[in-house]
């Protein structure tokens, strides 16, 4: 294995305290909390009903609408954060440098909403009712 040097030159964030480095950092400095009552599903059966949810995220502001519809939200977050990191670095990706630019993204787990909804669709209507985009929505 060869040892190659790398440099982190840009950062992209999609977080409960903001979208993008500037908004997220401003809110962190101001002590804004990203924790609030869960809104993405009904948490009434859970003892804890708070979480750090990303708010005010409209994928159409960042992604092609047709492609965005075919992706789970966590994929959208990753693509937006990656795009923000490349912009933050000030790179213009082209044929001569594309092979030297990469993005590292971390996610604990994602796509649970799509998996759950697809299971409900399957239970209600059988396999023919499952979207052919199920796989790509979660594993883009």
Owning domain of residue 67: 14-138
Domain total for the chain?
1
Report the CATH number that the domain containing residue 56 is assigned in CATH. 3.40.47.10
DSSP alpha helix (H) spans, 1-140: 21-29, 65-69, 73-89, 112-125, 134-138
- pTM assigned to the model: 0.77
Beta strands at 35-37 and 50-52: parallel, antiparallel or unpaired: antiparallel
Asked if residue 6 is part of any domain, the answer here is no
Asked if residue 110 is part of any domain, the answer here is yes
Asked if residue 7 is part of any domain, the answer here is no
List pLDDT tens digits, range 104-116.
Answer: 877 767 777 778 8
Average pLDDT, the chain: 88
What is the band of 8 on the pLDDT scale with cuts at 50, 70, 90?
A: confident
* Rg for the chain, CA atoms, rounded: 18
List pLDDT tens digits, range 54-79.
Answer: 999 999 999 999 999 888 888 899 99
């Amino acid at each position: 294995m060869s040892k190659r040097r790398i440099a982190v030159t840009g950062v992209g964030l999609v977080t409960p305290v903001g979208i993008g480095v500037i908004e997220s950092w401003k809110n962190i400095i101001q002590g804004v909390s990203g924790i609030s009552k869960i809104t993405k599903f009904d948490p009434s059966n859970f003892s804890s009903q708070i979480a750090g949810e990303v708010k005010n995220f409209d994928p159409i502001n960042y992604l092609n609408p047709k492609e965005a519809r075919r992706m789970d939200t966590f994929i959208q977050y990753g693509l937006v954060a990656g795009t923000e990191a490349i912009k933050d670095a000030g790179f213009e990706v082209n044929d001569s440098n594309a092979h030297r630019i990469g993005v590292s993204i971390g996610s604990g787990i994602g796509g649970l909403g799509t998996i759950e909804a697809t299971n409900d669709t399957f239970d209600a209507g059988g396999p023919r009712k499952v979207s052919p985009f199920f796989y790509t929505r979660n594993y883009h």
